[in-house]
Structure 1
Amino acid sequence: MARPLDELPKAHLHLHFTGSMRHSTLLELARDQGLHLPDALVQDWPPRLRATDERGWFRFQRLYDIARSVLRREADVYRLLREAAEDEAAEGSRWLEIQVDPSGYASRFGGLTATLELVLDAAGKAGRSAGVGIGVVVAANRTRHPLDAKTLARLATQYADKGVVGFGLSNDERRGRARDFDGAFRIAKRAGLLAVPHGGELSGAASIAECVDDLDADRIGHGIRAAESERLMERLADRQIACEVCPTSNVGLGVAERIADVPVKRLFDAGVPIALGADDPLLFGARLLPQYELARDVYGFRDAEVAELARQSIRASTAPEAAKKEMLTAIDSWLATES
């Protein structure tokens, strides 16, 4: 029998706040609020998506915004994070970094600061209850003005020692160049926050290079298009800049035609650190564990290589050093068990 992947200690570094919601919770909250959901979020779930053109991305974003609209009460935020932490624990994830843009909820929860404090409090309680360490990444939206990103970066720095561990940049790469947000990332980096922008998902290798050169990225959200450039893969490997690769999401958005086309093994063999992630399970239908199952069943990773994937996720995380050491030791124990 194969070693059980749900017992493999791992860190989950690419999970969005709304996208972490359980599908059953979405349906329940919508029903309680009398909110009509589109078929794509009910009987046709997970929705068929393709975001490689503007119309497809708009549909994806519209579904995401509808899902976000069910989070109306503080209790909903506590529930979402409690359930997310429970799901992480069930899959063997011992450290989670969850990404949130407070702007999307500020009007509901009393402003940017109040929203972030709510998320941090909920994350702390959820993590303690489930036995999972949780850090929060504050993310700016690259389709908005860079000044908005600076505002979020300053907010994030105020909570750098209170649960905020990184600063990100998300949404459609084609609508906002990374270099336009360099000021916000300088603010975040000065406070010791990790720079974790998205890059190399809907745009090519140049998008990743810009994140590295102009934003001093510590990790890259997605980053699979690095496989298009040998030189870029060498740079990422040399600097040990991890790519947060989300195979199910890549296929769900049409970035790759088939699961087998996602260049996980090519990046791994080139020495690029990889942290497998689920991105938005609410819209793609799969959480973290299935990504590790794909590594074994589709990409042909042996258990020693799967264990190394888990190690790379932990090394790339902001978990405390003592927690990292404990998780890495547990991975060795997992690998030492008879399969």
Structure 2
Amino acid sequence: MVVFSCAGCAAELTVPVSPVALPVHAHNRYGHALLPPLMRAGSYAVDPEPFGPPWRPWNEAEAEARSLFAPVGLLSHGPAGSIVVAPGDTRGTVLIPERCDGYCYGVDGRDGPNLACARCGLEVGSRIDDCSRWQEVRFLPDSVRFEPAGEPPADDWTVEGVPPVEPSGAWNAYWEAAVGDALARLFAVSGGGTIAVQDGLVADVFGPALALPSSSSPHRALALAGPGEPDADDIALVPRHPVTGRPWPHSGATDVVPLAAEVWTWLAFGQDPVTAPASGVMPVGVLRDDPLPKHPSGPFSPARDVFLHTLARLPAVRQPWLRAIYDRVMAGGPVSRVV
């Protein structure tokens, strides 16, 4: 664990926090409402990409040097390596009033750093909490320092699964983002051929985007692989470690596609307990009022912005067939391999 402090006066700016991989939904905008924090309490992540103003028009030569292989609109020329924490884990900061602009519900950092150290006034980062944005604080990498605070976290693959459906019946936004990221990587390794997926929830969330025609034979097959699962022979859908970001080591598959560990765990093992079959009757005097199993109110739709963000950073997008998909999704089309 570490504590981040001001580079100017050494005032502590966070509680002790532990490093984790940048969440897959960090580049996802969702709905038109106030969203919860991006980061879990007590954690921090480093975003390797530039963030914030100044913004400049797309330039192909410059973009490819930054490992961008398809147009993404304006390019951020802000600092790379910002430290991302939950707003509730910050201490000793104050807002800079003249930089608190946003779209409608809050601030979004469009005017540059909007947080300063309360002790010395140094600009240290930005708070973001506008509508459709996950709440976060991003510290400028050159404006903070950190001090060790305890032992590093253990390399543990035990992760609690996240249910796919909200109580309202909407698909979980985290699932939409995670599958959007995985689909971009799956398209990139597919070579343009059709892909078969195993029945069940994996088919529910991946199948529509893969759009396998009933008259076609699949060229490749996608299957779950990882802790507690058998090896996959072709394309292995494996968990991504929530702390290091590394995919589960898998040597038997032709290609490996990582998926956020919380989503992978539910796909592999999770289920609503009330859906388990039961027999017999309740004991006398025992009352139960179990909720009905949660079912989605509509078909699954991967997050377009996460799909595009990931695909633009994969060299495979330069292939004509995949670039055609990218351009169609960029123009507002659905995330699907059918052009």
**Structure 1 or 2: larger helix share?**
1
Structure 2 length-normalised TM: 0.29
Structure 1 length-normalised TM: 0.29
